[in-house]
Amino acid sequence: MTINPKSTKPIMGKLPFNMNDAKYPISYIQGKYLLFDVEAIQYFRQKYHILGILSGTLPQLPQQNIFLGLPLQLTNEEVYYLVNNGAAYIIDDQRVHIDYFNGLVDDDRKFLADKRQKMAIEQLLTTRAKENEKKIKIMKKINKEIPLDTLEYDPTQPVNLTMVPVDTNTKELNRDHLETFSLGFPEIKRRRYLIFESLVNNGFFLNPGLRFGCDFVAYPGDPLRFHSHYLVNGYNWNDEIPLLLLIGGGRLGTGVKKAWLIGGEEEEQEMHDSTASDENNSATTYRQFSVEWSGFG
């Protein structure tokens, strides 16, 4: 389900990259929200506590699952939070690329193809030179001649463009052009987003909690410096939570040296003070509760 965005105060200053305003494009590709720019990733991590998940693999190792790189994949809650705070907007990446490619003339296409070809040739010759250096060292040890690779390019041989680096810098993007391909807010579950927003606004960093059977795992600071403190689940205020689930959540948290944290948006506030203003009485608040097993800590 989608919920109407709430107006919250952004925790940001001026972006470090050359954009016309404080918004940054998030690419929507095949149902996933991706960031390709290192500066944007660094900025969102520092200012908004947005972590994401690195999902890029090396071309020759497409099935690797450690030491991943760009792009950074964002969850729906992270994207919603950034868009809601005015720090980003979503673009249909496929439409942007098709529109850009269709706008190129033949000379532009030839220039780009020649540029990639030149980079591939330079990469090939550099690799050959390094291999020759290794062969020379081996020849000195075994005192035997080994044929060296030629350092001249044969234009009749095809060049592998797979390993040619692709520029992912988006500093020169025309924001006015990208705005025409912008999308709305992503689909989210209200109960999950509200606890995500509440904890992030209170300084926590959140990662997906799938391996612990919860919505999120909460860190008191950057996960590179801190261990997680909470297993997090969001609920609607009137949801019934079975007693066995309360016990299981508390024991699971204790077993992994964490506390189980649950939260929900209080729909109605009771009047605790007869002198309180009507505005305060009608306001909704988000409340969290932690469950710990006896002897925790």
50 burial level (CB within 10 Å; 0-12, 13-18, 19+)? buried
Q: Write the DSSP assignment of 212-254 as a string of letters.
A: GTSSEEEESS-TTT----EEEEE--TT----HHHHHHHHHHHH
Collect all residues with Cβ–Cβ distance below 8 Å to 281 and sequence separation of at least 6: 269, 271
Residues annotated as catalytic (active site), given as ranges: 219, 227, 258
Q: Which long-range contacts (CB under 8 A, 24 or more apart) does 155-163 make?
A: 159/117, 159/120, 159/121, 159/124, 160/120, 160/124, 161/116, 161/117, 161/120, 162/59, 163/59, 163/60, 163/120, 163/123
Whole-number Å distance between alpha carbons of 277 and 31: 46
Q: Which two tokens stand for residue 262?
A: 């649950």
Task: Specify the pairing of strand 69-74 against strand 285-291.
Answer: unpaired
